[in-house]
Amino acid sequence: MPEAFGALPSSVREKSRLCTFAGVPALVVHPAFAADAADMADTALHGAPAPVLVWMHGRTANKELDPGRYLRLVRAGIASVALDLPGHGARFDDALQQPERTLEFVEQMAGEIDAVVEAMRATGWFDMHRVALGGMSAGGMATLIRLCTPHAFCAAAVECTTGSFAWQRNRAMFDPPRAARLDPIQHLDGWRAIPLLILHNTLDAWVAVEGQREFVEALRARGLANMVDMHEYGETGAPHEHSGFGRFSSDAKDRQTNFLVKYLRGA
């Protein structure tokens, strides 16, 4: 059993499987997985296909991060498919995790999402009419990039990320050619208005909140922001005020769960 999987709380682990979708390692947490499965390879459903969140973590993290997110969702009847970014988790490559290569692996991840979703479809585990996409930090960038081209996602949720890469120009992650090619705010002609939850630390030292505010204003100017909910936290105590939301962690997870219940389960 991989160490990161074994470290998950039993309440999450008993509803989880490690899978690979189109070559991308994934942690699947599903409300209809049997708690008493003989081993991780037992993937029979004991219930109906579930609505699902496809989730991507941030730089230097892994798909097993933040099990409290997955536990809330599975208890609400929503599956999670958490993916390892290129160079991370089960496809570890320290060189690819370096800050200056952030947009490189973000671009690769954005390009892998469609094949992952098709592989998910083949399992029969998920209600493919109720699929949300989301991520934090680098995973959120991959989310917003993907949503700038035609897609079938019915909702999205991002945290501590940006849809306006110009605000990152003084950080190591900024790669001018890739930024110009990928920057979501520059590619909104392909954006389709869907429910979008944005959570951010106002004092974020790594990803400026001003970039995300500008992105939302750009959506609003195009009449695409009527289903966008952006919530900002003040000082949270999180490292660099960047991710996790510190003492507001539970509130952030609850906001995301309530958002996804509303748009994936119609509650």
CA-based nearest residue to 57, from 17, 16, 105? 105
Residues 91-130 pLDDT 10s: 999 999 999 999 999 999 999 999 999 999 999 999 999 9
Residues 33-89 pLDDT 10s: 976 554 444 566 767 899 999 999 999 999 999 999 999 999 999 999 999 999 999
| Amino acid, single-letter form, for residue 30 | H
CATH of 3-265, one of 3.40.1160.10, 3.40.50.1820, 3.30.360.10, 3.40.50.720: 3.40.50.1820
Tokens of 99: 């800050």
pLDDT at position 230 over 90: yes
Residues 191-214 pLDDT 10s: 999 999 999 999 999 999 999 999
Separation CA 265–CA 267 (nearest Å): 5
**Predicted local confidence at residue 34, as pLDDT:** 78
pLDDT band of residue 3 (cuts 50, 70, 90) is: confident
Rg, the chain, Cα only: 17
C-beta separation of 85 from 56 below 8 A: yes
Q: What strand order describes the sheet that includes 228-233?
A: 16-21, 24-29, 79-83, 50-56, 126-136, 155-159, 196-201, 228-233
- In DSSP terms, which residues pair with 81 in a beta bridge? 28, 54
